[in-house]
Chains A and B, each alone.
Chain A
Amino acid sequence: MSTLEKTETKPEQNTTTATQLSGSQAVLEALIHEGVETIFGYPGGAIMPIYDALYDYNDRLKHILVRHEQGGVHAAQGYARTSGRVGVAFATSGPGATNLVTGLADAMIDSNPIVCITGQVFASLLGTDAFQETDVINITTPVTKWNYQITDASEIPGALAKAFHIASTGRPGPVLIDITKNAQLQLFDYQGYNKCDHIRSYRPKPIVRKEYIEQAAELINAAKKPFVIFGQGIILGKAEQDFKNFIEKGGFPAATTVMGLSALETDHPQHVGMLGMHGNYAPNVMTNECDVLIAIGMRFDDRVTGRLDKYAKQAKVIHLDIDPAEIDKNVKATIPVWGDCKETLPLLTELIQSNDHREWLAQFRELEAEEIKEVIHPELNPTSDILTMGEVVRLLNELTNGDAVIVSDVGQHQMVACRYAKFNQSKSNVTSGGLGTMGFGLPAAIGAWYGAPHRDVIAIIGDGGIQMTIQELGTIMQFGAKVKILILNNEFLGMVRQWQQLFHDKRYSFVNITSPDFVAVAKGYYIEGNKVSEREKLKDALRTMLEHDGAYLLEVMVGKENNVFPMVAQGTSVSEIRLK
């Protein structure tokens, strides 16, 4: 996070003599000083002064008018994920602010650095049940890293500086600043903008303890079967290269969480796949075979660990994380290495012996071969006429060569995308991991494109999720984000249907979802589109989508009752992973 937080640089002193600014102008000045270029937002009564000021900042700040505030916050998340910078969203008070809540919760659990600014009723009206008044601070407290209400304009520069510092440093997260309308309108003596680099009650960067590095290295050097599992911490810490140096020197097999995808390129010879409920066979099984488990920038989510009392009990656990609350939370660490992995990984790499653990790695490949035979090959190369989600992703890989940003929504298609999409570079996987927010995909893809406008951004979305936030097609229509929307339509809420099939005697309760003519809907938004259900047309259709200069919607009809496997059923151990 070092480049985000810029702690080393002295605060930028703006020494010009005090000028009179409105609170609203001060907000926009703050954004400019923080390097913000793009804002996702939606105006309304209580934030009108800020939008009025924005009228004059049009040349320096690009505002994308979303179609719903939830779309705004998801777009800010997508932007943060592909750009590595802080995403910014604006919303008005009351319903505008409450519409942010899902996105804030999503950003909180997935550690996305975003700053949301909401308008609020006049300070004199607070607590009077005024029009469009809600207690936004209390509503958002559990889903923000920090939040603050401003009732006086003079607080604005300081509070926003703090907001950006908190959002982007340590374990990143969402910050919400609520500004009453009187503070937005108020003129005050603006003393310039000073970036925040220190808050005394906030210590984002722990001092690394060498003795724990040494103990960890000792354990690693003595290990016969070391296994590295990594998460988004590698990406957030901008430590991709340090991580690669570490696993290459030690010769460790390395498996990723959903959130860690793309931190290490898929084709790396030591990449052994994805962990978790729908992860790969080998890494799940081997978690319960290794002797030293090295967890880096991940938080042992229940979808990763399966049944905790049967998780890696044989292994000594080394846990590298920046957040001390994560260490020992779910899985007891033998050696805790608390710190930014950008710092700890090079220190650890220096102390470990070169090794290749060839035979140990070969054991992973043996299990992988089994999975390829039983699951992967049939999924990617089906013999029946019915299309599979997997083959669509395989063709996509062939056409993009793994260079695209893959945004996914939530459900079966998400797991298939995460399992089979190829990633060559970091910050290429954007998905709602912790919260599992259906409807995340389309707006997040819009933000992802603004965060990386020169890359192909492909949003893989199910027929259920797309209908939750489909109105954001309007945002694409108006502002021209070149997002490729790939709907994998199985005419079901597929993941719930899969569970109902496996665990509820096939009692399909309200998983049968009908869809509009998506191509016609896209056409209504002046977005080009196509629909395919035959294998021979699929590759050309994907190619047309990718080559089209602009947004494009491609609907692919896939098998209705296909299941995602392997699967670690809820309440079972990772070693009980089933292949079918």
Chain B
Amino acid sequence: MEKQEYTITLYTENSIGMIGRISGIFSRRKINIESLNTSPSEVDGIHRFTILINESEEVVRKLCRQIEKQVEVLKAYYNTDEELIWQEQALYKVPTDIIAEKAPVERLLREYGASAVVIRNDYTVFETAGHREEIDKLTAELTKYKLIEFVRGARIAIIKDSAGFHSKLKQFEREEPSQETIENEFLDQADKVFTM
């Protein structure tokens, strides 16, 4: 199977050591994490991981089973780029005098939807958010204009088809055990997943 970009979305308890436990699942298999973001989720008290890796579907599926097996992980999803709304954020620090002198820079920034966060005599900081390719292009352009510092944030992503985790969580709580089969979409997709 061919490798491609997959975004793994995890809902976890917010406990110390989770990043270590999860990153170990990748490093043990010598799989590189392209980016990793942890944040609160739509549900109070539940943490959300967004992990970007480049792997085959089979490997990603197995990774998600191993991750979900961790006691403090509630759910693991994996999606291709098409199934997501995703963004990465970037910050650029460039010399102000050059920005002021060169008109193309301003046009460039407009083109990529970047905006100034800080403007000082000596340097200016711009920020932008978008897909990787756009950020890469802007980086390449700004490098020509003495880019002083650059940083890109981890990918964050919203799953187009997801109804969020509020209702799912209730199935995990003792108070409202699910009447339907709990968390078994793995088996629901057996036709797709299990091929001889």
Contact = CB atoms under 8 A, between A and B. Distances in A.
Contacts of A46: none
B121 interface: no
Interface residues of A, number: 31
Contact of A316 (B13, B28, B196): B196
Contact of B173 (A200, A334, A336): A200
A336 B196 contact: no
A334 B194 CA distance: 6
A201 B184 CA distance: 15
Given A332-B194, A334-B196, A325 B66 contact: yes
Interface in A162-215: 166, 198-203, 206-207, 209, 212
B17 A138 contact: yes
Interface in B41-97: 61-62, 65-66, 68-69, 71-74
Interface stretch (B109-117, B123-131, B185-193): B185-193
A333 B62 contact: no
Contacts of B187: 209, 212, 336, 338
A336 B172 contact: no
B24 A141 contact: yes
A222 B61 CA distance: 31
Given A206-B184, A325-B62, A338-B184, A166 B71 contact: yes
Chain B's interface size range is: 20 to 34
Given A141-B17, A325-B62, A146 B184 contact: no
B182 A198 contact: no
A328 B66 CA distance: 12
Interface in B147-185: 169, 172-174, 181-184
Contacts of B186: 324, 338
Given A199-B71, A212-B187, A324-B65, A142 B24 contact: yes
A324 B62 CA distance: 10
B13 A201 contact: yes
A145 interface: yes
A203 B194 contact: no
B104 interface: no
A249 interface: no
B64 to A, nearest CB: 9
B182 A207 contact: yes
Contacts of A435: none
A329 interface: yes
B172 A201 contact: yes
A83 to B, nearest CB: 24
Given A324-B65, A338-B184, A338-B187, A332 B195 contact: yes
Chief secondary structure at chain B's binding surface: mixed
A200 B194 CA distance: 28
Given A141-B24, A201-B13, A325 B182 contact: no
A519 interface: no
A336 B173 CA distance: 26
Contact of B190 (A145, A147, A336): A336
Given A336-B190, A338-B187, A146 B65 contact: no
Given A200-B173, A201-B74, A323 B20 contact: no
B12 interface: yes
B72 A201 contact: yes
Given A200-B173, A200-B174, A141 B21 contact: yes
Contacts of A338: 184, 186-187
A328 B193 contact: yes
Interface string A133-163: 0000110011001110100000000000000
Contact of A146 (B16, B24, B71, B194): B71
B25 to A, nearest CB: 9
Nearest to B72: A201
A336 B13 CA distance: 28
B65 A325 contact: yes
B183 A203 contact: yes
Please name the 3 residue pairs, one residue from A and one from B, whose CB atoms are nearest each other, closest first: A325-B65, A200-B172, A146-B71
7 contacts: A201-B71, A203-B182, A207-B181, A207-B182, A212-B187, A316-B196, A338-B186
Given A142-B28, A145-B71, A207-B181, 7 more contacts: A141-B24, A201-B12, A201-B13, A203-B183, A316-B196, A328-B193, A334-B194
